[in-house]
Amino acid sequence: MVRRKLIAALLGLTLAGPVMADDLVYLTSAEGEDRLLATSMNRDYFPLASYLEYEQILTFCGPASVAAVANSLDISRPSPDRLYPWTLFTQDTLFNEANQKLKPYAMVEHEGLTLAELDTFIENLGMKADHHFADETSVDALREAIKATLSDRNSRFIANYSRKALPQEGDGHISPVAAYDEASDSVLILDVAKYKYPPVWVSVETLHAGMMMTDSGSNRSRGFVVVSAP
């Protein structure tokens, strides 16, 4: 129980929270905690959890995920006026000139980012991004992409999925993946809607099902982006 409280405190969470689906394993449970500590593919958890923040607007799951990923990589960071002389990617500083042209702040606030837009949004910040649509990716290919990304210290995995498949309340969402457990064939999603759900373990098959659901913004399936330092 002490370890659970410590993890929850580090993530800015409380152990009390929303009603949770029976087939999901949340990190704030003993089973979720044990799974993280037992798996060898958990290295991305530490840098990502250190910089994970909640989405500052309900549609900012994309920018919040990008900020966490960018800060977790060994790349040059901007120096926001209010934090000078310290450096950090914030959800606001992501909207440089190129990203404002791609999709202005107000439009992202209104409708979020599609998978392809998320890819370009990341590239406009100087990182490498490679996006994949779920309808062009098998469950096995998704699993291998997750494992390959988590095995590379210089890469991060961002999932774009529908909560309906998990099931959770809501629909389209974006968050980084921080770990993979082979014994349960599940991934740990660090939910940037921290006020709504804690980090959660879901099976690769369930995640793929969530990615297969259509994004009304693009009229295509959802998917994932592999991000790496330039």
CB environment 7-32: b (16+ within 10 A), e (fewer): bbeebebeeeeeeeeeebbbbbbeeb
Q: Can you give the pLDDT at residue 22?
A: 55
Residue 21 has pLDDT above 80, yes or no: no
Mean pLDDT, residues 30-46: 97
Q: What is the pLDDT of residues 149-206, one digit of tens each?
A: 999 999 999 999 999 999 999 999 999 999 999 999 999 999 999 999 999 999 999 9
Q: What is the pLDDT of residue 81?
A: 86
- H/E stretch holding 120 reads helix 115-123
By three-state DSSP, how is residue 228 classified? strand
pLDDT bracket for residue 5 (50, 70, 90): very low
Q: Tell me the chain's radius of gyration from C-alpha atoms.
A: 16
pLDDT band at 82 (very low <50, low <70, confident <90, very high): confident
Q: What is the pLDDT of residue 1?
A: 35
What is the token pair recorded at 227?
């991000």
Task: Return all residues near 216 (Cβ < 8 A) that are at least 6 apart.
Answer: 172
CA distance 177 to 149: 10
pLDDT tens digits along 39-61:
999 999 999 999 999 999 999 99
3-state secondary structure of 218: coil
Distance from C-alpha of 93 to C-alpha of 199, rounded to nearest angstrom = 25
Residue 18 confidence (pLDDT) above 60? no
Q: What is the pTM of this model?
A: 0.89
Q: Residue 11: pLDDT above 50?
A: no
d(CA 201, CA 103): 32
204: alpha, beta or left? (left if phi > 0; alpha if psi -120 to 50): alpha
Going through the chain in order, the beta strands assigned E by DSSP cover: 25-26, 128-133, 155-162, 172-181, 186-189, 200-203, 214-215, 220-221, 223-228
Predicted pLDDT of residue 12: 46
pLDDT at residue 219 above 80?
Answer: yes
In this predicted model, what pLDDT tens digit does every residue of 121-134 receive, in sequence order? 999 999 999 999 99
User: With bands split at pLDDT 50, 70 and 90, how would you rate the model's confidence at 19?
Assistant: very low
Contacts of residue 63, Cβ cutoff 8 Å, sequence gap at least 6: 55, 91, 94, 95, 108, 113, 121
Cα-Cα-Cα-Cα dihedral sign, residues 97, 98, 104, 109:
negative
Q: Is the pLDDT confidence value at 9 over 80?
A: no
pLDDT above 90 covers a percentage of the chain that reads 86
pLDDT digits (tens, 9 = 90+) for 62-78: 999 999 999 999 999 98
Looking at 3.90.70.30, 3.90.1750.10, 3.40.50.300, 3.30.70.3040, the CATH number of the domain 2-228 comes to: 3.90.70.30
